[in-house]
Structure 1
Amino acid sequence: MAKVIGFELNSQDPEKAAEFYSNVFGWEIEEPNWGYWPVKTGNDQNQAVNAGISKGPHDYPHGIRIQIEVKSIEESISLAKENGAMVVRDKMEFDDFYLAYLVDPVGLGYGLIQRKG
């Protein structure tokens, strides 16, 4: 079973969003990397789901997307497409994982993550 491992807040003013969520909820916002601010929403004791804040791209300028960890990103993309999803950004490679963005049949955006190794 795939599990939600995080979420992403997209904003056209990510610095302001980072300040807001830090001030209101006490979230720890790290320095940005590639325009992405990693967010810690808790610690190991409370099993928090962590996040990130970024400047929303043209295909998702603002909103929240969950990140779902899967065993095979290619298989998950294929199955999603068979069930009416649209691929917004195909599989991208990062140091430790692969990432793709899709939109489900009712218009909700989400990310798929497959860890390497």
Structure 2
Amino acid sequence: MNSIVYFEIQANDPKKCIKFYENIFGWNFVKQEGLPIEYFRINTSGMEGGMFKRPAEIPPLNCGTNAFTCTIQVENFDKIEQKIIENGGIVAMPKFAIPGMSWQGYFLDTDNNVFGIFEVDRNAK
């Protein structure tokens, strides 16, 4: 628990970006159904990840990192969310179900860095 176990890549053109990672690293992408956005699961033969269309503008060059988002597996989503908020974090995307897999959500830390948490729950709907 509490380890980084998943990463996500945001892309303006996911299909173009998918080809890039397939051609360079041989990663496998599979469209995930049942989510509120178009989403592709990534299998890297190591850590798994996902890709989706960027929901906001790319930060301008020379203005900080434009990077992968890491997700941390937690034992109790609601308990950790409360701790995040109590310690100055902000909800960026509220808790939602990845049907039959887990609960997922995104937050901003005290310096506006985005990170995700998820709780495994095969009954999530």
TM-score by length of 1: 0.85
Q: Counterpart of 2:108?
A: 103
Count of equivalent residues: 112
Question: How big is the shift at 1:60?
Answer: 8.3
Gap regions ≥5 residues in structure 2: 60-65
Deviations 1:62-112 (A, max 9, x none): 742111110111111111111221101111123121111101111210111
Structure 2 residue matching 1:31: 3-state secondary structure: strand
Could you tell me which amino acid in structure 1 is paired with residue 40 of structure 2?
Answer: W
Q: Counterpart of 1:36?
A: 39
Q: Counterpart of 2:97?
A: 93
Could you tell me which amino acid in structure 1 is paired with residue 80 of structure 2?
Answer: S
Q: Counterpart of 1:45?
A: none
The 1:59/1:84 distance shift into structure 2, 3 A limit, reads farther
Q: Matched residues in 2 for 1:98 and 1:75: separation?
A: 13
Question: How big is the shift at 1:26?
Answer: 1.2
Q: Is the 8 A contact 1:11 1:63 kept in 2?
A: no
Gap regions ≥5 residues in structure 1: 43-47
Task: Give the share of equivalent positions with the same residue, in percent.
Answer: 25
Q: Counterpart of 1:20?
A: 20
Q: Given the alignment of the two structures, is residue 79 of structure 1 paired with residue 83 of structure 2, yes or no? A: yes
Could you tell me which amino acid in structure 1 is paired with residue 20 of structure 2?
Answer: F
Q: Matched residues in 1 for 2:84 and 2:2: separation?
A: 13
Question: How big is the shift at 1:56?
Answer: 1.7
TM-score by length of 2: 0.80
Q: Matched residues in 2 for 1:5 and 1:32: separation?
A: 18
Q: Matched residues in 2 for 1:67 and 1:49: separation?
A: 11
